Amino acid sequence: MSIKFTQLGSILLITAITSLFTVQARAEMESQEKENMEPLSTAEVFEKAFFDHTGNAFQNDSIVGQLNHIFGFNLFPEKQIALDGKLVDILYRDVMKTQAEAVTPMKTRDLSNPYSTSLQENPDYIGY
């Protein structure tokens, strides 16, 4: 019985050590990204906010992600999703406020359309 606990303890110790190294590597990458930072588009900011706490499927599929789902080391998935939703909501409200207060309205390109005219411009159309 004590042999099983020793093996389990060594597995937990190895898992804890590897998770510490992955966190350190991630922090170094984030600091390098901040140095080479360019302005992000609105779509990129929304994408980043959407995956801020939860991460993507590849991060959640790792061993550390699986353990987080079970034990909630970095919050449980439901809480992570709620925090991401709150962040996206705040960002959405800020973008809508910026758009409403703009002196010149924001304009976007029209969607591609296979028709060159509308029904109202057609003299043969009789509207009821």
65-117: pLDDT as tens digits: 888 888 888 888 888 889 999 999 999 999 889 888 877 766 777 777 787 77
Is 19 buried (19+), middle (13-18) or exposed (0-12) by CB count in 10 A?
middle
pTM over 0.85: no
pLDDT for the residue numbered 91: 92
Find the Cα–Cα–Cα–Cα dihedral 79, 87, 47, 50, rounded to 10°.
10
Q: Say which residues have a Cβ less than 8 Å from residue 95's Cβ, sequence separation at least 6.
A: 42
Q: What proportions of the chain, in percent to the nearest 5, are helix, strand and coil?
A: 65, 0, 35
